[in-house]
Structure 1
Amino acid sequence: MSKVLIIGAGGVGSVVAQKCAASPEVFSEIMLASRTKSKCDAIAALIKNRTIQTAQVDADSVPELVALFNEFQPELVINVALPYQDLTIMDACLETGVNYLDTANYEPKDEAKFEYSWQWAYQEKFKEKGLTAILGCGFDPGVTSIYTAYAAKHHFDEIHYLDIVDCNAGDHGKAFATNFNPEINIREVTQKGRYWENGQWVETQPHEIKQALNYPNIGPKNSYVIYHEELESLVKNFPTLKRARFWMTFGDEYLTHLRVIQNIGMASIEPILYKGVEIVPLQFLKETLPKPEELADGYTGETSIGCRIKGIKDGQEKTYYVWNNCKHQDAFEETSSQGVSFTTGVPAMLGAMMFLTGKWRKPGVYNVEEFNPDPFMELIGQYGLPWQEEINGDLEL
């Protein structure tokens, strides 16, 4: 029986809160906090079978976080706020003796650069306090890293080639919208691509490498190599990797909108003066776009995310493909959320469960692939994200 504090009241926060509430045997008390308490109250109203507490907190403020942690005294904080706020939340955890879990790595507000170095630097601090910090427990990063760890444990002596493939074949009916926070999403997909090959990073222009990949139950979709954060930890934790890439699908219309947004300067994170007020163009654009949680009702189609792996087992070459498909309609029926929020929120809840039940608990700062994948893989299907696997099939990559 354990108390958890969830920070962040967007689409993912809603899924995490609902999923935690559905397992009272593990999550004895739940508090949901964000900058806007009314958002927390709206999510709490979705939960019919039990009451969860709500609170207002500015996650950029360590003193505010510390005051809230001391008042509620959670055993674990589930951070599904913005990546900019990872370090302030981790600082507050250290000050109050609370364990930590997030779904996305830190990035500074003034630079579109996300990497784990800032959070990995907390390793000794968390160890000294006897606290656990679990990094990147969404779907990608998160489940994709756990899939890789599971493959390494059960199917390979050496993993040589890893392709993480992320397809959203859904239709939300909007001309242009992002499936999670628009500011974070646009910053991510407009960066240069990067993949790991032969012991070094290879940089590409945005969307330079394109291939039509076949996805289960969906078919061929144009997929592009982009840089994604789990690559950084996976190449560190699986040193036999000769190449590791991340592929994401984008429709032509989405890419056209993205080019226009960039060409007219609306993707810029450099502040400008407008009528005497300093604004950041991308933050202004975010306010004009549909909110990700507003896309859920009527969202059709499904996602397909998985890992395509090649390596050696008992001296023989082997291929392995493990994946999940998630229908947006199913996610909406269960949690009033769309599939991207659902596929991120469920693993965050399950990672918290792994910690609270003692299966993933060791002092320090760790990425999810550094824990035993088996108990997570055993349960994730029961919570709405069943996985499938194909051994020695044609991976086409």
Structure 2
Amino acid sequence: MSKVLIIGAGGVGGVVTHKCAQAKDVITGITLASRTESKCKAIAAQIDFPVKTAQVNADNVPELAELIRKEQPKLVINVALPYQDLTIMDACLATGVDYLDTANYEPLDTAKFEYSWQWAYQDRFREKGLMALLGSGFDPGVTNVYTALAAKKYLDEVQEIDIIDANAGSHGQPFATNFNPEINIREVTATCRHWENGQFVESPPLSTKHVFDFPEGIGPMNIYRLYHEEMESLVKHIPTIKKAQFWMTFSDNYLKHLEVLQNVGMTRIDEVEFNGQKIVPIQFLKALLPDPGSLGPLTKGKTCIGVIARGIKDGKRKQVYIYNICDHEACYREVKSQAISYTTGVPAVVGAIMMLTGKWHKPGVWNMEQFDPELFLETLGPMGLPTVVVDGGEWPEL
């Protein structure tokens, strides 16, 4: 019997719960926990599978450990906030349970996300015979797997990667983020870093722009370079990579609103005093913006997320483009969510299946590219995210 405990009842938590319920041959029990149990109950009510719910403060290790001991899962799936990764990992260590997340740790008071804090748990997990799988979303996650696939099957040496993420969907709102507004805005406004010639090179956020012609009818869109966490692990674990960049699409409307919010201080993450109380502007902004979970029925269009990998094959320079296309409306019909949450939630469940079936299982703390990519992709497609490979072809140098 493989029971899972899912922590986090946002948009991704909803998708993870739906998809765990579909994986009945592997996952036989589900508990969904959040700070607000009513959100868990609302998700459970959508699903034709018995889902237990619970209230838990994911910042509190003893409370998390008590819940884990009560429910006795084989795996904890963390889709709460990145600030809570370490407390949930601590609780897993205390209770002897495997761990999986979709985003790396980020301190609450510093807009900086990196793997160092979680990699530091390597010895503790290994010594207890436990596994922690980091970043089992899409980017990070599937993009790591795509890069590993390029290295395994299509290139003898991967030298350059461009990770390109397009949301070609529209929700009709003046300004909204497709996932947690606080995390989204912190990520987009952070100093850009890309890997080149053995080091990370910094540049102002969103200062480098190209037009990229996306496949399958999406067409040309503006893409902007920003820092994203999978580059940190990929250049460590695939050391032949000489250049790594991450690109994302943003509409002119999104960037216009974001610039104004920055200029007036609404994206600040430090406390300010207002009417005798301390508030954090970006948290107040989050309360004003549409809940990403409410965008599902409104969003139309597609996402396209993939990796262009360039390098050497049989002594010649070659490139391969590996990507997925996901339709917002199809996602909503299936799991009551838009494609941004879907493309994060489905890989989390596939990662869980890899761990629970033993296809990917090794004590310690690991990133996605450190395991066999083909085993993962064999399950990812039937779960709803098929992979397209364009072997060769001409794609622009970015």
CA shift digits 1:334-381 (9 cap, x unpaired):
001000000000000000000000011000000011111111111211
Task: Tell me the residue number matched to 2:305.
Answer: 305
Task: Tell me the residue number matched to 1:149.
Answer: 148
3-state DSSP of counterpart to 1:43: helix
CA shift digits 1:168-220 (9 cap, x unpaired):
01000000000000000000000111100011111010111100011112111
Give the superposition deviation at 1:24.
1.4
Aligned equivalents of 2:95 and 2:383: distance in 1?
31
Unaligned runs of 5+ in 1: none
Task: Tell me the residue number matched to 1:54.
Answer: 53
Aligned equivalents of 2:275 and 2:55: distance in 1?
31
Aligned equivalents of 2:231 and 2:166: distance in 1?
17
Give the superposition deviation at 1:46.
0.5
Please tell me whether residue 91 in structure 1 is matched to residue 82 in structure 2: no
Please tell me whether residue 136 in structure 1 is matched to residue 148 in structure 2: no
Moved over 3 A (4+): none
Task: Tell me the residue number matched to 2:81.
Answer: 82
- What TM-score comes out, normalization by structure 2 length? 0.99
Aligned equivalents of 1:96 and 1:309: distance in 2?
40
Give the superposition deviation at 1:298.
2.5
Within a 5 Å distance, the mapping from 1:1-397 to structure 2 comes to: 1-48=1-48, 50-216=49-215, 217-397=217-397
Give the superposition deviation at 1:242.
1.1
Aligned equivalents of 1:395 and 1:275: distance in 2?
55
3-state DSSP of counterpart to 1:77: strand
Aligned equivalents of 2:268 and 2:317: distance in 1?
46
CA shift digits 1:25-61 (9 cap, x unpaired):
111110000000000000000002x211000000000
Aligned equivalents of 1:349 and 1:187: distance in 2?
26
Give the superposition deviation at 1:326.
0.4
Q: Which amino acid aligns with 1:301?
A: G
CA shift digits 1:215-260 (9 cap, x unpaired):
1121110001100000000000111111000000001110010000
Q: Which amino acid aligns with 1:321?
A: Y
Aligned equivalents of 2:228 and 2:208: distance in 1?
14
Aligned equivalents of 2:132 and 2:379: distance in 1?
21
Q: Which amino acid aligns with 2:368?
A: V
Q: Which amino acid aligns with 2:310?
A: K
Q: Which amino acid aligns with 1:210?
A: K
Unaligned runs of 5+ in 2: none
Give the superposition deviation at 1:316.
1.4
Q: Which amino acid aligns with 1:95?
A: A
3-state DSSP of counterpart to 1:46: coil
RMSD: 0.6
Give the superposition deviation at 1:157.
1.2
Aligned equivalents of 1:58 and 1:393: distance in 2?
50
Give the superposition deviation at 1:109.
0.1
Give the superposition deviation at 1:277.
1.3
Aligned equivalents of 1:254 and 1:23: distance in 2?
37
Higher mean Cα deviation, 251-260 or 270-279?
270-279
Aligned equivalents of 1:294 and 1:327: distance in 2?
17
Aligned equivalents of 1:234 and 1:23: distance in 2?
29
Give the superposition deviation at 1:273.
1.3
Percent identity reads 61
CA shift digits 1:279-336 (9 cap, x unpaired):
1000000000001110000211100000001111111111100000101001000001
Aligned equivalents of 2:23 and 2:155: distance in 1?
34
